[in-house]
Amino acid sequence: MRIPLYVLVRPRAGDFAYTELEFETMRRDIETCVALGCDGVVIGALDQSGDVDTKGCSELIRAAGRLGVTFHRAFDVSRDLGKALEDVIALGCERVLTSGGEANALAGAGRIRALVEQAAGRICIMPGAGIDSTNVAAIRAQTGAVEFHASARRQFPSRMAARIGAPRDLATGEWRSDGNEVRAIVEALRQNA
């Protein structure tokens, strides 16, 4: 089974209202994704009022050409999720990643269900944020969603033998996806199909 590769394209941390230079940086990153043969990109931008920046996103989507496009969780901080969904659909994105505007997908499950219903098959609503093997089946049942985003990550112990004098946050082990958790998420979905 081949898993498609979608690259998150974001010029910085923080809010999602970008400058012209930041849009240019994202456009160039997307052109690199095209050249490398990626399957898709994950983008998102809002204007200063908290609406989807349809002009800026259109430019990024144009740069993506035939690549698939997912709108990321910038969606969750838009001022009106229903309007934002219609804007993302009009842009031609194939999916939107959301926690329903809440801290995690389980807390936002009711709003995610409403978004799935509003979308009516025009776009995939993909719950994300805080999803793991212990709650993915409940999130599916509560939202009606069919695709899910999970980092499936855990912190692995540091390989450094001595951390003398290092600030605690600089000497911890790395965070990365855990294959066992990925398998557990898949199994939880299979058991509760």
Residues 6+ apart with CB under 8 A from 87: 51, 52, 54
Cβ distance 38 to 12 under 8 Å? no
pLDDT value at position 162? 61
The reported pLDDT for the residue numbered 175 is 84
Q: What is the pLDDT of residue 143?
A: 98
pLDDT score of 159: 76
The answer to whether position 91 is within a domain reads yes
Residue 186: inside a domain: no
Q: Which pTM does this prediction carry?
A: 0.91
| Domain of 50, in residue numbers | 6-150
**Residue 155 within a domain:** no
Strand order from edge to edge, sheet including 40-43: 6-8, 40-43, 68-71, 95-98, 124-127
Q: What is the pLDDT of residue 154?
A: 84
Asked if residue 165 belongs to a domain, the reply is: no
CATH code at position 79: 3.20.20.380
Q: Is 175 a member of any domain?
A: no
DSSP symbols for 139-175: HHHHH--S--B---EEEPPP--S--TT--GGGSSPPE
Is 187 part of a structural domain of the chain? no
Task: Specify the pLDDT at position 2.
Answer: 86
Cα separation of 88 and 100, whole Å?
A: 15
pLDDT, residue 168, reads 61
User: How many domains does the chain divide into?
Assistant: 1
Is residue 18 a part of any domain in this protein? yes
Rounded-to-integer distance, Cα 118 and Cα 95, Å: 13
Question: What pLDDT is recorded for position 170?
Answer: 62
Q: How many CB atoms sit inside 10 A of residue 47's CB?
A: 16
- What is the C-alpha to C-alpha distance for residues 193 and 86, in angstroms, rounded to an integer? 29
How far are the Cα atoms of 5, 7, 37, 64, 147 from residue 2, in angstroms, in the given order? 9, 16, 14, 21, 16
- pLDDT tens, position by position, for the chain (193 residues)? 788 999 999 999 999 999 999 999 999 999 999 999 999 999 999 999 999 999 999 999 999 999 999 999 999 999 999 999 999 999 999 999 999 999 999 999 999 999 999 999 999 999 999 999 999 999 999 999 999 999 998 888 877 766 665 666 666 778 889 999 999 999 999 997 7
